[in-house]
Each structure stands twice: as structure tokens, then as C-alpha cells.
Amino acid sequence: MQKTNNLLFLIPLLPLAGAFLNLFVWRLLAPLTGKYRQSDSLTHTTAIASVLGAFGLACYLVGVPLWKQYSAWHALGDARPETMGGLHQHLWTWIEVGSLKIDLAFRLDTLTAVMLLVITGIGSLIHIYSVGYMHGEKRYPAFFGYLNLFTGMMLILVLGDSLPIMFIGWEGVGLCSYLLIGFWFEETANADAGRKAFVANRVGDFAFLLGICLLFYATGSVDFADLQRPESIDALKEVFWGGERMGFYIALLFFIGACGKSAQIPLYVWLPDAMAGPTPVSALIHAATMVTAGVYMIVRMSFLYAHSTTAMAIVAVVGALTALFAAIMAFAQTDLKKVLAYSTVSQLGFMFVGVGVGAYTAGVFHLITHAFFKAGLFLAAGSVMHAMSGSGDIMKMGGLRKYMPRTRWSFLIYCVAIAGIFPFSGFFSKDEILAGAFGAGAEGWGPVLGKFLWATLSIAALGTAFYMFRLYFLVFGGELRCDEETKSHIHESPYSMTVPLMILAAFTCVIGVIGFPHLLDDKKELILPTYLHDWLSSTVVDFGRESLLMANGTSSIPESHLSNTLTIGLMIGAFAIGLIGIFTAKAIYGRGPSEKVAAMCETGNGKAIHNVVLNKFYVDELYEWSLYRFFRGAAKTLHEVVDRFLIDGLVVNGSAWLIDRGSRGLQLFQNGQLHRYLVGVVVGGALIFYFASSPKVSFDYKQLNANEVEFTPDFSSLTTIRGGLDAKGATITFDLDSDGEADFTSEYHPQKPMKVKWTFGGAGKYKVSMTMTDAVFDEKYSVTRTITVKDLAVKGGVK
């Protein structure tokens, strides 16, 4: 059903063009207008216009052509094909080598549509917000240029129709993340944070790349549509290594890639540090879009994960542990953005549990709602920090509700949503994940795994509600705790910053309607509409059905639809958990920092636990000791031994030294002294003459039997030098009994190799001489050898 649409390429191209204009063109044109640098209004107009253009185009493409296709597909009922195809645009063939063919092609299907709207929609708001936030920044054009570049790359990531194209976007957003985290690189800590993000991402990216290679090795294809053909799926099912399927290893490698990009254990360490970047960057890249790329990728590859329940279990367990530990780490943080960063890690963990248990819709749903409320939280945090003269220390805030009402109300809405309070969006999405985890039971998972995931997530959700409202009460509740200097500057942020906050808050309130829970009436019809699920089902593989196919009709089909009572019970439970978290936070932090907690953190076990949590379980230190030092030591050794000694010392300088000394020696020969040259010529000529005219003669012998020996004269040196003419006349004599008399005489002829046979008296040593007489100069050359005649009878017994 896929349709060609020629407008797709414009969606990523617009932000990329904006980046190009802001980074290169305007800068070069600025002198023409008589100014030293491009004007700020031109910069942000370009940036915002390009993203808004992409947003408008995305809205049109999703709303008109894709919607039409979806309606037609949906109307087919049970006869509809498994996937819809969406809109497709093939630009050109990028690489074609052997059987590898990579097209630069874009596809807009329902999953991509969701991501597109989130990226361009929230992206536009954050661009607008940045106008106020980055006001007066020295590198204003660079900031907007990077932001645009990021948006373009993210759009390539979600639009790409094959893994390599996706990988381009994947790397592109990593680059922009690095550039923007280290945007204020004058401070070493910021530059280090950027580098840390880049390196941690690199680990994941490499695994992702390996996964692509392995997938190509297994199936011979990297194109999403090709990969879903039955023959490719069969290749994924083949046992590869250690009894596991090919699909498991590919899925695992992809998940490591997702861990890097989406900050999961063990690669999450970069995200909290990434808060060194400007706040709009944290909102756009490190909350709403880039960090969700891993979730998107796993959903995109759902057909692959469906064929390895082991890989899915790993995804879900890692996600659940990340959700829990990140939530715990958020308790002790005192920096506004750090709390939000750990919250992001935790929420991403929720998403991974969602996709890990096969509740892809739930994962994507939480991705959407999280994008709204977490982007909003960051923007609100930026607004607060803007008011507090740039400081993010929540211990020095408090009582801000009086000063910045718009920010406060938005913040409260986001907090309520993330805590999972009905009817805000976070409630629905989080509940769907919890329900998915509770009902999970894929083949080979055992009965407790789903319950374990559910319990872990529930604790994490309790923690989420608690730390978010701890944050809220410390920032907005109680009394102001800052100094007078800061206090005099507190003000509500300009409308360019608060309007995006309000828009995001509005969406946070209502976006939950797209994912009502699955409640079935007696006729097995849905009571409430489930828009997102229907919308995504045209793209994402239905895990239940795939498992059914996998199990080949045998038992253990997962029950993806829980009963109504259970569903509602879980919802009430989740709601209660949220309320408990909120009221606990209010009880402890309602009037500012709690002295009780502070006292608890100062003594005994409380202090130890607090230290561990405050230091983030010492994971950074662990990495430093286990990886950083190890690699550093190895690199140092390699540097000293291989680089400095072998390459620099022996190869580079050594060869130079050798050439230098050698040429000094050779210099003696080219000294311009004609006489010395001539001495060389004469001496050399004399030497050649001497060696050429002193023949060496010899002979070989071989024992034929008991006493008989055969001699073969050898004067090859003679014949080669003098030529046949002289040697022809030579006379050969052998003296075989050492009496000085010739026993054998013959004239040598080069064409007739001569052999001499002689019978000795018995075993023993004999002295044999051969003499060659030169016919021309009448000179004799003779050679004498002692030969051994062996007693063959004794040794061999025969002959």
C-alpha cells in the first residue's frame, strides 16, 4: 500500500538548510550589511521559520496523504495487510557494492509520524523559548545553527528507510548533542561533560554498527521493508552461536546501541553530566527527542525483537533496573536540572520496559507524553534558573510561586503528570506500561518476570512522584532562601519563554486521550477508543500475534489484554502510588528542606546510605577505576613502547640516522677527485681480471658399490670465465693411488661430461688428485681430496 510522496525530503532539509544559513551563509553576508556579525533577529527568525516549516509540512503530510492511506487501510477491517507501508520517497542510490544496496530513501509511516510531530512540534516551541533564554549570548548563531542541525539529523533518524540512513541521523544527533553540551566550553567541566557524552554514546554506536553488520551478514539486507520479508525473518531464527538465535545477538547489539543513546544502565552516566549544556538543549535533546531515539529504534525493529524473547527480557529488566536506580539517585540531588536528568533516565527506563514486554504502543505513548511534560519541566527549570541568576541549587530557592506564577502553574501540571495522577497524560502512559509489565509472559520467561518488572516499576513510580514533588516544594513552596542580591533580580520570564511552557502544559493535560486503557465490554469491543494503538498497529508488529507465530500454535501465548477488573485495579493502584509519593513529599518538604532528613543524613546508617546515593552509587568512580585507568595505562604503555620507541625511535629516527651515516660513507666516493675515481677504476678492473683468470677446479665422487667409486670433474668456474675455446683443449688427469703418476688421462670436452670409474682395494681413506692442464698457456691447476670408501657390506649387509 506504500505510496510515493516527493515532499518527504523537505522535512529534514528545511532545518538542515536553516543550520547551513545560520552557521555559514549569514556569517559571510554580515559584512555586506556593514555589521560585524549577523543580527540576532535574522538568526532566530531563520531557525524558527525552518523548524516551523518542517512542522507545518509534517502536519500536512501526516494529516492529508498519510491519514487518507490510514483510513483506507483501517476500513479494510480484517482483510487489511499486516503493515501499511506509509509514504515513501526514494531519492537516489547511495551505495551499491556487491549485494549491499543502500538507498537514500525516506519513509513516513504511522510510527515516524508520531516522532515527526513530537520532534518538530516540541522542537519549534523550544526554538521559540531559546530566543528569550539565550538572549545576549555571544555565540547566538552557533547555538541556533546547532539546534537546527540537531533537528534535521533527528528527522533523518526517524525518516530513514534503512538502518544506514537511520545511522546517519543517529551519529548526527550524537554530534549535535556533543556540540551543545559543550556549548559553553570555556568552562572545563562543560567541555568534559560533552566529551563524556560523546564517548559513552560511541560505545553504544559501535554496538549498533556491529548489529547492522551482523544483520546484513544474516539477511543480506539493511532496508526495513526487505528485513520484514519471510526469508529475512527465517534467517533471524537460525541458531547462531551458543544455542541462541541470530536475532538475539542482533537485538542485543541494537539494545546496547539504544542504551548509549537513551542513557540506560550501564551507559547512562553521560546524561546527568549533559546538563552542563544550555537548558533548551536539555529540554530538546536530553529529554524530548534524542534520548528517545533508542526507544524509537527498538519499536522500529520490533519485528526483530519479536523473534527473541530473551533479548526482550534483557531490554525489560535493564529498563526496570534503570528506572528504579535512577529514581533513587534523584532523591539526593540538589541541582534542579540534575534531578530532572535522573528523572529522564528513570522515565526512559519505563519506556524500555514498555517495549521490552512487547507493549510497543505503551512505550511510544510514554515517549510522547514524556516528551511534553519533561520538555516542559526543563523549560520551566530554565525559566526558574533565569530568574535565580543562573543558579540551579534548589536548596537556595523556595517560595517562587509568588514571583513567577505562570512558570509555577506549568511546573505543577508537569509534576502532576509525571507523578501519574489522573487525568493527566502521564497517568495513562505510565499505567499502560505497568499493565503491560504486569501481564507480560512471553515464551520462556517464567511466571514471575512480569510481576517483578511491575513491582520494580511501581517502586520507581512511587519514587518519581516523591522526588518530583520534593523538587516542586523546594522550588516553589515554603519561603525564599536565597540571598538579597539574587532576590532583587527575581522576575517572571518573558512571554517568549512562558508561552511555550503554557502550550506544553496544555498538551500535557490532554494528550492522554490518545491512549485510553484497553477495557473490553461483553462483546469484546473496546469501551474507550485507543487511537494511538490503532494508529501504530499499521506499522508496529503486534507482539501477541508474532509470538503466536513463533510458538507454532503451541501454548504459552501471552495474554496481552488483562481483564477489566484487573486493569482498573492496576490503574487505581498506580494512582494511589502517585498520591502517596506526593503527600509524603509534602509532609517532608512542604515547608522547605526538612531538618529531620538533614539530621538523618548526618548520622550512622543514614549518612552512609545518603553518601552512596549522593555519589550516584559510585558508578562514575567504578568506571574511572575499571575502564578509564586501565585504558589510560594501556594507552600510555603503547605510547611509550610502540610510538616513542619503535616508531619514533627505531623506524623514523633510526632510518634517518642510517641514511645519514650511510651517505656520509658514500660521500667519500664522490669527492670530485678524478684521480681517486681512476684508482677505483683501475683497482676494480685489476680485481676483476685476477678473479676471472684464476680458475678453480674440483671434482665430486660417488660410491657405486663395494669398492668402485665414480669421479666427476667440475670446472664450471673455468668454463664460464674462459669460455669453451680454452677449456676445450684442456687435459684432465687423475692420480688415484697417490703415486704421483697419472692413472687416467682424458681431453676435456664441454659437450661430453666425463666420468671416471676406479676400483679401490677396500674400505678406507684415499688421497685422490685431479690435474687440469691448460692447453693455451700450458698451466696446471690441480686439486687433491681425501675420499672415504665405506664398507657397504658391514653397514647395509647387502651389496
Partner 1 sequence: MSVFYDITVSHFLVLAAALFTVGIAGVLLRRNALIVMMSIELMLNAANITVLAFSRGFAGNNHEAAYQGQAFALTVIAIAAAEAAVGLAIVVTVFRTRRHSDIDRLTMLKN
**Residue 678 touches partner 1, criterion: CB under 8 A:** yes
Which helix (H) or strand (E) segment holds residue 789: the answer is strand 780-789
Question: Which of 28, 32, 97, 674 is close enough to bind partner 1 by CB under 8 A?
Answer: 674
**Residue 199: partners with Cβ closer than 8 Å, 6 or more residues away:** 270
Stretch of 267-275, 387-395, 636-644, 663-671 contacting partner 1, by CB under 8 A: 663-671
Minimum CB separation of residue 752 from partner 1 in Å reads 24
Tell me how far apart the 2 most distant CA atoms of the chain are, in Å: 135
Shortest gap between Cβ of 689 and partner 1 (angstroms)?
12
Q: Say whether residue 679 binds partner 1 (CB under 8 A).
A: yes
672 belongs to the binding site for partner 1 (CB under 8 A): yes
Question: Which of 386, 293, 372, 377 is CA-nearest to residue 342?
Answer: 377
Contacts of 563 (CB under 8 A, 6+ apart): none
- Of 565, 605, 667, 751, which one interacts with partner 1 (CB under 8 A)? 667
3-state DSSP assignment of residue 731: strand
Question: Could you tell me the three cell numbers for 641?
Answer: 613502547
- Least distance to partner 1, CB of residue 680, Å: 11
Q: Which of 4, 188, 605, 671 binds partner 1 (CB under 8 A)?
A: 671
Counted residue by residue, the chain has a size of 799
Binding part of the chain for partner 1, among 70-78, 136-144, 672-680, 716-724 by CB under 8 A, reads 672-680
Q: Which of 599, 627, 638, 682 binds partner 1 (CB under 8 A)?
A: 682
**Considering the rule CB under 8 A, would residue 664 count as an interface residue with partner 1?**
no
Between 603 and 670, CB nearer to partner 1: 670
Give the three cell numbers for residue 315: 531490554
Size of the residue set binding partner 1 (CB under 8 A): 10
DSSP state of 22: I
Closer residue to partner 1 in complex, CB, 553/672: 672
State the Cα–Cα distance between residues 74 and 1, nearest whole angstrom. 12
Q: What is the 3-state secondary structure (H, E, C) of 511-559?
A: HHHHHCCCCECCCCCECCCCHHHHHHHCCCCCHHHHHHHHCCCCCCCCC
| Alpha helix ranges (H) inside 9-76 | 10-20, 26-29, 40-61, 67-75
User: Does residue number 692 form part of the binding site for partner 1 (CB under 8 A)?
Assistant: no
Q: What is the rounded distance in angstroms from the CA atom of residue 75 to the CA atom of residue 223?
A: 28
Q: Find the shortest distance in angstroms from Cβ 678 to partner 1.
A: 6
Of 143, 156, 163, nearest in space to 40 by CA: 143
Residue 641 in contact with partner 1, rule: CB under 8 A? no
Rounded to a whole number of angstroms, the minimum distance from the CB of residue 675 to partner 1 is 6
Question: Is residue 71 within the footprint of partner 1 (CB under 8 A)?
Answer: no
CB of 708 to partner 1, least distance (A): 42
SS3 of 190-222: HHHHHHHHHHHHHHHHHHHHHHHHHHHHHHCCC
Residue 246: in which H helix or E strand, if any? helix 246-261
Contact (CB, 8 A) for 414 and 376: yes
Q: Which stretch binds partner 1 (CB under 8 A): 531-539, 665-673, 706-714, 743-751?
A: 665-673
Q: Which residue is listed with cell 529488566? A: 317
Piece of the chain touching partner 1 by CB under 8 A; list 16-24, 122-130, 673-681, 689-697 = 673-681
Which is nearer to partner 1, 423 or 662 (by Cβ)?
A: 662
DSSP 693-720: TS---EEEEEE-SSSEEEEEEE-HHHHH
Which residues between 35 and 54 bind partner 1 (CB under 8 A)?
A: none
Of 659 and 793, nearer to partner 1 (C-beta) is 659
Residue 514 in grid coordinates: 490518545
Residue 73's nearest CA partner among 538, 485, 406 is 538
> Count of CB atoms within 10 A of residue 244's CB?
14
Out of 41, 673, 751, 786, point to the residue binding partner 1 (CB under 8 A).
673
Q: How far is the CB of 677 from partner 1 (least distance, A)?
A: 10
Smaller CB distance to partner 1: residue 95 or 682? Answer: 682
Interface with partner 1, residue 725, by CB under 8 A: no
Stretch that binds partner 1, among 591-599, 670-678, 756-764, 778-786 (CB under 8 A): 670-678
Least distance from partner 1 to the Cβ atom of residue 102, Å: 59
Binding status of residue 660 toward partner 1 by CB under 8 A: no
In this chain, which of 664, 675, 752, 799 binds partner 1, going by CB under 8 A?
Answer: 675
By the 8 A CB rule, do 358 and 308 touch?
no
Binding site for partner 1 (CB under 8 A): 667, 670-675, 678-679, 682
